[in-house]
Amino acid sequence: MDTEFKTVYWHNGKVKMIDQTKLPLEEVWIEFDDYRDVAEAIRTMQVRGAPAIGVTAALGIALAASRFESSDTEKLIGYLTEVGDELAATRPTAVNLFWAINRMNDFIRSNRNMDIENLKNAIIKEADSIQSEDVTRNKALGGFGNELIDDGDCILTHCNAGALACAGYGTALGVIRSAWKSGKKIHVFVDETRPLLQGARLTAWELIHEDIPMTLITDNMAGHMMQMGKVQKVVVGADRIAANGDVVNKIGTYTVATMASIHKIPFYVAAPTSTIDIAIDTGEMIPIEERAAEEVLGYKGNNWARDDTSIANPAFDVTPNHLVSAIVTEKGILREPYNESIRDVCREKTTLA
Ligand code: MRU
């Protein structure tokens, strides 16, 4: 894997992605020529991570446009609106999904006077731009985040906010990549991240590929590592950030942030501005996805709890803004009071529905 690695992209008229459910044991690339299969790939987490599912949804709309047969532009627009609604129903928490679908819908409507074939090509180009802009944003974000990292730091991260969670490069791992590339001798503690093990399977895979020194730990070891003085910084990604700076990210992030606060370890959130939802005032208003009980009962059908065990499986949690030391975006580093710094950075950003 290099820094130009693409997780999901437009390829020969299809949507191509690496199947993240197969990693790290197999590197399987899959191609889709029906947007319904793209929606299913998001739902089943063959592609996952906030920016990545936004990019995928945009490419799914492009796919649907490219396969549309009538020459009636208004019918195309109506059809793509339904496609967007279907893609939006795949996962509820990460706002990048809705951000990308809204951007595609706005683009399609504002170009409705184009000749239909030109419009279809323009839609594909727009989705492609969402893909490439994501990588550009992450590299910029990584550069800002690098300023927060010191030579010799041990950095703890949770879940996977790497190239695999984006179109490429990564957010939290973008910061780590930038620090490593700038010559800082860092070490990364990777939380395995139950129940779906995005840390163990995906973050470890990315770091090993780039020879960035790392140690995998189970989630319940993080507090101990902090208490032992082994962690100097925490950097995580986000699925949605409210206007007041509350952060929704993978389940377990709140626990890590709380432990970091107790041990006076800076807790940084790295996310593009497309992850900020200024229409949502506080974190508790953000919908938290509840996933299938099987994910907690065991892994891939190997169960270690009885089938009739009562299960809760919230996929995300809310870290209140007072536990967040800074939010690293592609436009710079945001600090408290977040209401103000977020409002300023979002001034030119489209408000989300
Ligand atoms: O359920 P997932 O794997 O989609 O959750 C992913 C996360 O929580 C990531 O930390 C978040 O999307 C940030 S990705 C840059």
Mean pLDDT score, 205-233: 98
Same-domain check for residues 60 and 75: yes
- How far apart, in whole angstroms, are the C-alpha atoms of residue 251 and residue 209? 26
| Pair 88, 98: CB distance under 8 Å | yes
Indicate whether 2 belongs to any domain: no
Domain with residue 206: its CATH number is 3.40.50.10470
Indicate the DSSP class of residue 247. E
Separation of CA 100 and ligand 1 centre (Å) = 16
Indicate whether 84 belongs to any domain: yes
Report whether residue 168 contacts ligand 1, using a CB cutoff of 6 Å: no
Best residue for ligand 1 mutational test, from 239, 247, 268, 269 (most atoms within 8 Å of Cβ): 239
CB proximity list for 11: less than 8 A, separation 6 or greater: 31
Comparing 3 with 342, the larger pLDDT belongs to: 342
Same-domain check for residues 185 and 292: yes
Handedness of CA 49, 91, 322, 192 (dihedral sign): negative
Q: Which residue's CA is minimally distant from atom 15 of ligand 1? A: 161
Using one digit for the tens of pLDDT, what is the confidence trace for 151-186? 999 999 999 999 999 999 999 999 999 999 999 999
Q: Which ligand 1 atom lies nearest to the CA of residue 171?
A: 15
- Report pLDDT for 103: 98
- Report pLDDT for 350: 46
Query: Considering the chain, what is the average pLDDT of its residues?
Result: 96
| Pair 110, 145: CB distance under 8 Å | no
Q: Which ligand 1 atom lies nearest to the CA of residue 236?
A: 10
Torsion, CA 58, CA 60, CA 66, CA 70, rounded to 10: -100
Same-domain check for residues 152 and 117: no
Band of the pLDDT at 348, cuts 50, 70, 90? low
Report whether residue 248 contacts ligand 1, using a CB cutoff of 6 Å: no
- Report pLDDT for 349: 55
Report whether residue 249 contacts ligand 1, using a CB cutoff of 6 Å: yes
Separation of CA 159 and ligand 1 centre (Å) = 7
> Pick from 115, 139, 163: which residue ends a domain?
139
Same-domain check for residues 194 and 337: yes
Separation of CA 72 and ligand 1 centre (Å) = 38
Indicate whether 353 belongs to any domain: no
Point out the residues that are catalytic. Answer: 239
Indicate whether 350 belongs to any domain: no
The closest alpha carbon to 61, from 42, 71, 45, belongs to 42
Indicate whether 290 belongs to any domain: yes
Report whether residue 241 contacts ligand 1, using a CB cutoff of 6 Å: no
Using one digit for the tens of pLDDT, what is the confidence trace for 125-134? 999 999 999 9
1: pLDDT strictly greater than 80: no
Same-domain check for residues 150 and 289: yes
Q: How far is CA 326 from CA 14, 195, 337, 341, in A?
A: 38, 27, 10, 10
Using one digit for the tens of pLDDT, what is the confidence trace for 278-329? 999 999 999 999 999 999 999 988 999 999 999 999 999 999 999 999 999 9
Same-domain check for residues 223 and 310: yes
Q: How far is CA 28 from CA 17, 33, 84, 181, 202, in A?
A: 9, 17, 27, 28, 14
Total number of residues shown for the chain:
353
Q: Which residue's CA is minimally distant from atom 5 of ligand 1? A: 49
Paired strand residues for 30:
17
Paired strand residues for 317:
249
Same-domain check for residues 218 and 86: no
Task: Give me the DSSP letters along 195-208.
Answer: TTTHIIIIIHHHHH
For the chain, what percent of residues have pLDDT higher than 70?
A: 97
> Pick from 117, 139, 161: which residue ends a domain?
139
Q: Which ligand 1 atom lies nearest to the CA of residue 170?
A: 15
For the chain, what percent of residues have pLDDT higher than 90?
A: 96
Indicate whether 1 belongs to any domain: no
Report whether residue 237 contacts ligand 1, using a CB cutoff of 6 Å: yes
Q: Which residue has the tokens 């799914």?
A: 60
Kind and range of the H or E element at 214? strand 214-217
Same-domain check for residues 133 and 147: no
Indicate whether 294 belongs to any domain: yes
Amino acid at 33: D
Report whether residue 141 contacts ligand 1, using a CB cutoff of 6 Å: no
| Pair 352, 279: CB distance under 8 Å | yes
Domain of residue 173 covers 142-345
Using one digit for the tens of pLDDT, what is the confidence trace for 236-278? 999 999 999 999 999 999 999 999 999 999 999 999 999 999 9
Domain with residue 125: its CATH number is 1.20.120.420
Report whether residue 238 contacts ligand 1, using a CB cutoff of 6 Å: yes
Separation of CA 68 and ligand 1 centre (Å) = 32
> Pick from 95, 116, 139: which residue ends a domain?
139
- How far apart, in whole angstroms, are the C-alpha atoms of residue 231 and residue 305? 33
Best residue for ligand 1 mutational test, from 7, 42, 46, 48 (most atoms within 8 Å of Cβ): 48
Comparing 287 with 347, the larger pLDDT belongs to: 287
- Report pLDDT for 352: 38
Amino acid at 23: L
| Pair 227, 304: CB distance under 8 Å | no
Same-domain check for residues 167 and 279: yes
Indicate whether 352 belongs to any domain: no
How many domains would you assign to the chain?
2
Paired strand residues for 264:
none
121: pLDDT strictly greater than 60: yes
Same-domain check for residues 133 and 155: no
Same-domain check for residues 57 and 190: no
Mean pLDDT score, 33-59: 98
Same-domain check for residues 111 and 154: no
Mean pLDDT score, 115-130: 97
Report whether residue 325 contacts ligand 1, using a CB cutoff of 6 Å: no
Peptide bond into 266 cis (omega under 30): no
